[in-house]
Structure 1
Amino acid sequence: MNYLRNTRYLAGASALVIAIAAQAAVAQTTAPAQEQGPSASETQVEEVVVTGTLIRGVAPTGANVIGMNREAITATGATTTNDVLARIPQVTSGFLAAPTISPDGGNTSVRPNLRDLGRASGSTTLVLIDGHRVRPNGDTDPDSLPPGALDRVEIVPDGGSSVYGSDAIGGVINLITRRSFDGLEVAAHYGVADNYYNTDINLTAGKRWDTGSGYISYVFQKNDAIFGRDRDFMRQITGDGRFCPPGTIQVPNGTLYALPGRVAGTTGGCDNTDNVSYRPAAERHSIFGAFTQDLGDSVSFDVRGFYTQREYINTIDFNNAQPQTLQVNSQNPYFQSIGGETSQTVYTSFAGVVDGHASYRRDEFRVNPTLTARLGGGWQLRVSGAYDWNRNRQLGTTVDPTALATALAGTTTTTAINPYNLGASNPSVLASLLRDNFAGGEAKLYQGRAIADGVAFSLPGGDVRLAVGAEYLEEQGANSKNGQSLPGQSASLPLATPDASRNVRSIFGEVVAPIVGDANARPGVHALILSASGRYDRYSDFGGTFNPKLGVDYEPVDGFKVRANWGTSFNAPPLGLGAGIQAVGTLPTKFIAGQQAPYSVILAGFVPDIDPQTATTWSVGFEARPKAIAGLKLGATYYNIDLKDQIGLLALGGVSLTGEFSKYIQDNQTCAQVQAKYKAPEFVNFQIPLAATCSLSPQPLLTVIDLRQQNLGELKQKGLDFNVDYARPTSFGAITASLAGTYILARDTAIVEGAPFADDLRGAGMSRMFLVASVGAQVGDFTANAAFNHRQGYDLNPVLTTARFGTQSRVKSFNTVDLFLAYKLPVDWLNDDTSLTLNVSNLFDQDPPFYNGCIGTALCGFSNGATLGRLATFGLRTKF
């Protein structure tokens, strides 16, 4: 409550400061108000979607806006929206990293992430389409938009909750579509790399008329799979191949015998990444439509929407994802003794026997109508609504451990499994082991919003503009299944997430005051603009939160601007968290150093009453356009983020039984204490149910480890963004050059509240610098652009050591070069907008750096970037 009260006082004080400064500016001017030029209320304000502000036609005060217009996007050779974002260094999740979907993850979309703010639940980056929230918690795949509908991308890498509400901690990515289109545009691409291809075709058709316009854009995209065997940088890290089919026998004295030869002291061998789909085969259909119509002199109607369907097939390798340790005795009809023993352990897997494919499908529909009324005096009212629906489905095959145990105990060839050659087992026995593994979910969002903005009053420096608004949002989530991986477990444990819903009621406002402008500029103060914005959101499940933001732009001279902002932001808990769902299971394992109890009790699910993640953000920077060098722009921004109450799972590494961790780990608990406190469903497919553990005599002591989703620690990050751009027309066309990047100065995390901060840049292995430099030229009808991309290497602390590759203490930098060429065809029977393009990504076919470990359990042997290899994409674009 003190925090809420303090932020309200601060917001009120900031508004008072602006008002006093405005009155002072009025008092200092000698020109009568009636002698000033026409105010904005007497002229039509340009109706442009601007990211980071509620007010039309003005840039957000104090913020660094990173933008790419349609011309710049075309010059990169990007064929998808994610390709565009992958060229922006601040989008650290995608920069120099070809989108891949881990086969063991189950994700069905690519989530852009600004700043990569750690383990935060949901998303700390808000993705908008035309300034509107699409789905909560950042679950927005930018490729839902056909490229032909995209007009420009704007990114504000600052906190944005004062304008947009939840999720805008690291910043806001706004995908802005074309306002209108007239004609027919066709764009097609075909890309090829080693053992890989992709293709797409985009059709956009539209018409403008005196009072409105309408257009439709459709894209079809398809790519085949890249497997681990297709790329040298993806490799098995561990040398233990005992699970490789047909497997390895271990007799009671510990001696290993590789099948089928059964030579003492040997194990099987294979690369368990060979059959993993590094890039899944995928197919997408997306369609976007827009319609705008004036309904009179002062009212207009606009509706935009899209539908997208994406299907892809992931492939796992059962050697890695589902290794089997089979206990076999002499009653099994296939049993073969090696030295007279009556039981054996067989290490094997169902690779090559069970289809490792899992199919995913995602459908999404969105419609967003807007009614705009021009009220006079420069004021405008925009009333909009939105309906968003999406559905995910996943279907694969898994082996039922209970049925497998029954088959191992079979006594005839019609009831038993052959442990030495699983594929040679009776087909009916194999069929009895397999289960369809289905996971699915459905979510809906309903939204209504009203915003009024216009001129409040005029100052000598310009018009003071004001915006106020209100919003209602309702989220609904249908039943799904989630997996939670636990220590020592090779498979995820399914947890049922209940149907859930919530609503959010919000009010917000913003004021921008130009204290000094062209009319009252003086030496040393060419311009001064102050702004304040604030938003109050009331959630039906966890309560209210207020987030203010202050901004200032100061130009001491024309062409040089200093800007700064401060604000707070938040990320609401994902829908369904805080419902109090729990699951309990036990393991005969000690996880914590110093643990006395022989059994560990794991709590999973969600802690009731989860609070939102909150952040305080501020930045200061400059922009310069030196008059001595025409076409040059440069700038830099220092940013600072303090993210608290991160929602996530307790990471067991480095925790202890005492101090700040004592609320999460309780040692030497009796069965009676645990059963009385945690009356919850048992884990599905867990090793030992709690009840079974407590039935032992004598009853063992237990260590309770709380691995539920909950508010945990804190992250502090500060860094520097920088950019240099140069464009100059020449006698032969034009030349361009640019340099843009971000450098992390410090990144410290505390595992839980009260824990000491640790340096992530030394311990977690995260790149400090992301950078892209490009040069280009236009010579007549020919355009060329080359870009150098860089992700800095990092130290590993602790170092990684494996028997196969030894010790690794550092991951190297990843550097690639991209080349784009375009030629406008000067053919009489073609129109002037027909061009051929060639885009070569990773021109020199650089592999990502070696990493002596795995990403998840499937993508092994590389880190600090991702690539499809040298990918050459040929394109044709024309317009009629």
Structure 2
Amino acid sequence: MTPVTNRKYHSSVSLAAVALAAALVCAAPASAQAPKYKLDIPAESAAKALNDFAQQAGLQILFPYEAADVGRVPAIKGEYTREDALKLILAGTNLEVARQDEKTISLRVVKNPEAAAADEAVEVIVTGTHIRGANPTSPVRTLTRKDIDNSGYGQVGDLIRALPENFSGGQNPGIIGTGAGGPDQVNHSNASTVNLRGLGTDASLVLVNGHRLAYDTYFQASDISGIPLLAIQRIDVVPDGASALYGSDAVAGVVNFILRKNYSGTTTSLRLGGTTQGGGAERTYSILSGWAGDRGYLLANLERSEQEAITFGQRNLSGTPTTTLQRPQDRNSLYLSGGLFAGARTEITLDALVSERTAFAKLSQFVGYPAYISRARTPAHSVALALETEFGADWSLRLAALTASSRFISDGKYETAATFFRTNYRSQSEGFEATLNGRAFTLPSGDLKVALGGGYRKERFRNLDPNDVAYFNKTRDVRFIYGEALVPLVSANPDRIGLQALELNFSARSEHYSDFGGTSTPKIGLSYVPVPEVTVRASWGKSFKAPSFLQTYQARQVYYVNLPFVGGTGTQQALVSLGGNYDLTPERSTSKTVGIDYQTSRFNGLRLGLNAFSIDYTDRVVLPIAVYSQSLSSPLYAPFVQNNPSLSEVQALVGSAVTFLNYARVTYDPSTVRAIVRNQYTNATSQTAKGVDVSYGQTFSTDIGEIGTFANISSIEVRQQTLPTTAETVISGLIFRVPEVKGRAGLTWQSDGWSANATANYVSGSTDVGVTPTQPIGSWTTLDAQLAYTFPPRSDYLGGMRMALSATNLLDRRPPYAASPSRDFPGVDFDSTNASIVGRVISLTLVKAW
């Protein structure tokens, strides 16, 4: 059999590149690989050593990660055959080779002859491409199963929000008091989203096993909260533009959740947690069970999560005590994965993810008004059917079909109203894709490898209530082709110091949207290995993002507000207009990265990484007015403000609105309107993000066990120019915006079944521009810790059980004070996009493999 692998990206080429690569297919086959590999693997666990061996040898290795993540392999440096290297790495494990071919090795646990073929095998190699043996030219961050277990987090959203490359703002739980940041900074449905580089939740592409999730219906980004944590094998994060590989939305990068597949046995998990300040109790129950054999595999994971509310009163905020800070939520998730091996070189797989969340909120936002109550339900599913077959010496073909859907069903009313008003949206996506990849021919410098593909996708967004005044039903068709070529510029030679390897990776993609037309996005990457311990990489590429359905077709809303809300004075009023814009054009960007990675077997396995990035985003779709309290005073917002409108202009605007809301607490009178603030979505002239990512790691063997140290820091500056006539301004480091510096650093220890870790999380200070004069907001540093013990294998119920006691925000740090959020939501005195009011969370997790 040939197990289906989980690849890091889909690859791509432009029309010309596809034609060129197709012609290369007819060329002669490549020569056999050399029997020995030049290796430099530091002393580390067998799992990490297998990962390093596979990357340095250009192989793909599949193995049960937990079984290999034990013991310590001595440093391996020099020339070794495949068999000799495997013998050294596997010497201290209970693993053996199950099957192998020229490019792939599958390992299994040795239990007994009957069970030996039935253990989980998962690919842990990150290649960043369809092409086997290629080195990534973009920065890649991988969270392993062990990283997930050690984090102490109980929800996948918490795990992603903690990453330094990710901004916690956007549509996420706990977001409150951010009205000045616009509707993109509002917690509509308690969803969890990815927001790489802080460029927006709709500018980060989310994949599950390489397939797109449906957009969350209300805000057109993917909700990751339905992914069961126990099902995740690893998470690959690529914080670099990748439209040449994946198409639209991958402007800031891609996050790919790789879920478990062929696994034998049953694992149960129980997590109980709560906050020490009161409220927020959580309970998560999960069971994962699977069977794997020579003819196929079947796996199922069922997970239920329950989380209780946290209110203003429980955090001593000055607003209404019963107002919800953290919304109570129930979630059910089901993940199914099956595979059938049709002969030695063909596999058919089916992956299905089904989830449903319900969340409740009670919000007392406006003085003098009753509380607003909402109940939201968000069912979603994603199903992918794929066939992969190998033919010839080096070629493989993958065919995949996908259907995905997400709904947002919300019932809301003011507390004194008799009936609820329902909002009911659905987002759908269906499509298919074919990918062909293999070795085209042999150049004097080595094998030239290519990947070709294409497909079709239909997207649909609709309001399911035809009686709703905001009803719409929109679809778009997307057709695409792509390809990739990996060209060795010099022949690889481990003995040639200064130029051991040099490879060029070219990819491009051409897409045609039925409503926006066509676009092509190329990408070029370079990988240079001067010495075994150093890899230098660089990439340049174009990306794009089609405007979302919501940005284009959202119904117009008009708010009647008091002048101070928009920065004026006096007792008169203003109108604020929001909504979609039919005239939007696709966003486009140019991304550049340069990085260097250093990894050595010396200095206790020192690992260093440095990555510089630049994203130049043009025609960025934004709400031009970010801070309403500056609408009438800031020259940046002057083009979007109309002072002293006529009575007919006021009446025309109100008459064009699908929704009109009076927040002025006085009877609506058009004659009192002194300004119109137009804040519809618009293509801004430019937005740029530049910064640096730094990573560090080391592992020390001591008399008291293995001690690890790590650090990951991201620094960024984001500038925006709303119109060609306005000045460019720095928006990073401002309230409700991405922080200038975010980092995580910590220590780990393990010995004889015991393990412990402590992690410090840092978010730099910012500036509150919602008050005059502006005020500084302090930095925020929190500490997470975990102590765990895994019982040795034995016959009783404790055998192999892992018990973990975790604390997030161990020191119970309160968010730094910010004045302006209380103007939008009385009582909120912190920036909820960069800090959490939840406080210390203590949890106990029990995991047992049966």
Task: Give the TM-score band, short-chain normalised.
Answer: 0.7 to 0.9
Partner of 2:333: 286
Match of 2:838 in 1: 868
* Conserved 8 A contact 1:127-1:138: no
Structure 1 residues 837, 224: closer, same or farther in 2, change over 3 A?
same
Partner of 1:794: 766
Q: 1:682 to 1:374 in 2, by over 3 A?
A: closer
Partner of 1:307: 354
Whole-angstrom CA distance in 2 between matches of 1:192 and 1:511: 51
Contact 1:657 1:665 survives alignment (8 Å): no
Contact 1:36 1:460 (C-alpha < 8 Å) held by counterparts: no
Find out whether 1:275 has 2:322 as its counterpart.
Answer: yes
Say yes or no: does 1:441 pair with 2:407: no
Match for residue 273 of structure 2?
Answer: 191
- Please give the per-residue CA displacement for 1:43-84, whole angstroms capped at 9, x wherever unaligned: 235795877844144455321110111122212233222232
Q: Which deviates more, 527-536 or 103-112?
A: 103-112
2-structure distance, mates of 1:203, 1:609: 49
Q: Secondary structure at the match of 1:786?
A: strand
Q: Residue 49 of structure 1 contacts residue 56 of structure 1 at CA under 8 Å; is this kept in 2?
A: no
C-alpha separation between the residues in 2 aligned to 1:672 and 1:127?
Answer: 46
Is residue 81 from structure 1 mapped to residue 52 from structure 2 by the alignment? no
Aligned to 2:751: 779
Q: State the SS of the aligned residue for 1:64.
A: coil
Q: Is the 8 A contact 1:50 1:58 kept in 2?
A: no
The match for 2:719 is 748
Instruction: Provide closer, same or farther for how the CA distance between residues 462 and 178 of structure 1 changes in structure 2, counting only shifts above 3 A.
Output: farther
Aligned to 2:514: 540
Q: What is the alpha-carbon distance in structure 2 between the residues aligned to residue 875 and residue 36 of structure 1?
A: 47
Unaligned runs of 5+ in 2: 1-11, 36-57, 61-100, 106-121, 178-185
Per-residue deviation, 1:191: 0.7
Deviates most, 129-138 or 611-620: 129-138
For 1:328-477, list aligned pairs within 5 A: 349-350=369-370, 356-398=372-414, 434-477=418-461
Q: Which residue of 2 aligns with 1:227?
A: 311
Kindly state the Cα deviation for residue 578 of structure 1 after the two structures are TM-superposed. 3.4
Q: Which moved more, 1:497-506 or 1:212-221?
A: 497-506
Superposition pairs for residues 511-526 of structure 1, below 5 Å? 511-519=485-493, 522-526=496-500
Q: Check 1:115–1:577 CA distance in 2 against 1; reply closer, same or farther (3 A cut).
A: closer
> Which one-letter code corresponds to 1:818 in the other structure?
D
* Structure 1: tracts of 5 or more residues without a match: 1-7, 24-31, 236-270, 325-348, 400-429, 483-493, 802-807
Alignment check: 8 A CA contact 1:581 1:607 kept: no
What SS is found at the alignment partner of 2:409?
A: strand
Specify the code of the residue in structure 2 equivalent to 1:228. Answer: F
Q: How many angstroms apart in 2 are the aligned matches of 1:183 and 1:56?
A: 32
* Separation (CA, whole Å) in 2 of partners of 1:798 and 1:645: 26
SS across alignment from 2:818: strand
> Aligned-pair distance for 1:747?
2.2
CA contact (8 A) 1:542 1:609 kept: no
1:218 to 278, 302, 316: 302
SS of equivalent to 2:250: coil
Over alpha carbons, which structure has the higher Rg? 1
**Cα distance change, pair 859–457 in 1 and its aligned pair in 2 (3 A):** farther
How many angstroms apart in 1 are the aligned matches of 2:370 and 2:144?
A: 51
* SS of aligned partner of 1:78: coil
For 2:658 and 2:462, the matched residues in 1 are separated by 22
Cα contact 2:790–2:803 (8 A) shared by 1 = yes
Equivalent residue, structure 2, for 1:90 = 165
Whether the 8 Å CA contact 2:631–2:677 is kept in 1: the answer is no
Matches for 1:111-150 after TM superposition, within 5 Å: 111-117=193-199, 120=200, 123-136=202-215, 139-150=221-232
Residue 819 of structure 2 corresponds to 852
Query: Cα gap change, 1:858/1:307 in structure 2, threshold over 3 Å: closer, same or farther?
Result: farther
| Identity value in percent | 24
Q: Is the 8 A contact 2:593 2:613 kept in 1?
A: yes
2: CA distance, partners of 1:190 / 1:676:
55
* Distance of 2:579 and 2:701 partners within structure 1: 60
Preserved contact between residue 580 and residue 608 of structure 1 (Cα < 8 Å):
no
- CA displacement at 1:824 relative to structure 2: 1.6
Aligned residue identity for 1:862: F
Deviation at 1:512, TM superposition (A): 1.3
Report whether the alignment pairs 1:719 with 2:691.
yes
Q: Would you say the 8 A contact 1:633–1:726 is kept in 2?
A: yes
User: Contact 1:834–1:878 at 8 Å: present in 2 too?
Assistant: yes
In structure 2, relative to structure 1, the CA distance for the partners of 1:785 and 1:703 (3 Å cut) is closer
Deviations 1:71-108 (A, max 9, x none): 2221223322223223321122179x994254974234
Task: Summarize the Cα distance change of 1:496–1:84 in structure 2 as closer, same or farther, 3 Å threshold.
Answer: same
Please name the residue that 2:660 is paired with: 684
**Contact 2:485/2:507 (8 A) holds in 1:** yes
SS in 1 for 2:225: helix
Cα distance in 1 for residues equivalent to 2:827 and 2:562 = 29
Q: Kindly indicate whether the alpha-carbon contact (under 8 Å) linking 2:270 and 2:283 is maintained by their aligned counterparts in 1.
A: yes
Residue 407 of structure 1 corresponds to which residue in structure 2?
none
Q: Counterpart of 1:266?
A: none
Distance, in Å, in 2 between the alignment partners of 1:842 and 1:850 is 17
Larger mean CA deviation between 712-721 and 701-710 belongs to: 701-710
Give the direction of change, closer, same or farther, for the CA distance of 1:48–1:539 in structure 2 (3 Å limit). Answer: farther
2:152 maps to amino acid: G
1:695-741 per-residue CA deviation (whole Å, 9 max, x = no partner) reads: x8xxx999765332221242112111010011244565422110111
Cα separation, partners in 2 of 1:870 and 1:711, compared to 1, 3 Å: same
Matches within 5 A, 1:801-820: 809-820=775-786
Please give the per-residue CA displacement for 1:243-262, whole angstroms capped at 9, x wherever unaligned. xxxxxxxxxxxxxxxxxxxx
CA distance in 2, matches of 1:848, 1:677: 40
Write the letter of the residue equivalent to 1:820.
Answer: Q
- The alpha-carbon distance between structure 1 residues 599 and 799, as it changes in their structure 2 partners (threshold 3 A), is closer
Question: Counterpart amino acid of 2:691?
Answer: G
Contact 1:11–1:532 under 8 Å retained in 2: no
Shift of 1:867: 4.5
The letter for the 1-side match of 2:160 is L
TM-superposed deviation, 1:612: 1.5
Question: Contact 2:450–2:485 at 8 Å: present in 1 too?
Answer: yes
Q: Is the 8 Å Cα contact of residues 13 and 506 (structure 2) preserved in structure 1? A: no
Specify the code of the residue in structure 2 equivalent to 1:350: P
Distance 1:850 1:592 in 2: 22
SS at 1:107's partner residue?
coil
Task: Give yes or no for the alignment of 1:644 onto 2:651.
Answer: no
Following superposition, the deviation at residue 116 of structure 1 comes to 0.7
- The superposition leaves residues 596-620 of structure 1 with CA deviations (integer Å, 9 ceiling, x where unpaired) of xx99676543222311221111111
**1:460-506: per-residue Cα shift (whole Å, max 9, x none)?**
54422211111211111121799xxxxxxxxxxx9725111111111
How far is the alpha carbon of 1:361 from its aligned partner? Answer: 0.8
Whichever residue aligns with residue 505 of structure 2, its letter is S
Q: CA deviation at 1:276?
A: 1.6
Do the aligned residues in 2 keep the contact of 1:388 with 1:446 (CA within 8 Å)?
yes
SS in 1 for 2:828: strand
Q: 1:824 aligns with which of 750, 774, 790?
A: 790
Aligned AA for 2:503? Answer: I
Checking the alignment, whether the CA contact within 8 Å between 2:469 and 2:658 is kept in structure 1 is no
Give me the CA root mean square deviation.
4.0
Range with bigger deviation, 734-743 or 749-758: 749-758
Partner letter of residue 309 of structure 1? Answer: E
Comparing 512-521 and 147-156, the one that deviates more: 512-521
Aligned length in residues: 732
SS in 1 for 2:581: coil
Change (3 A) 1:783 1:53: closer
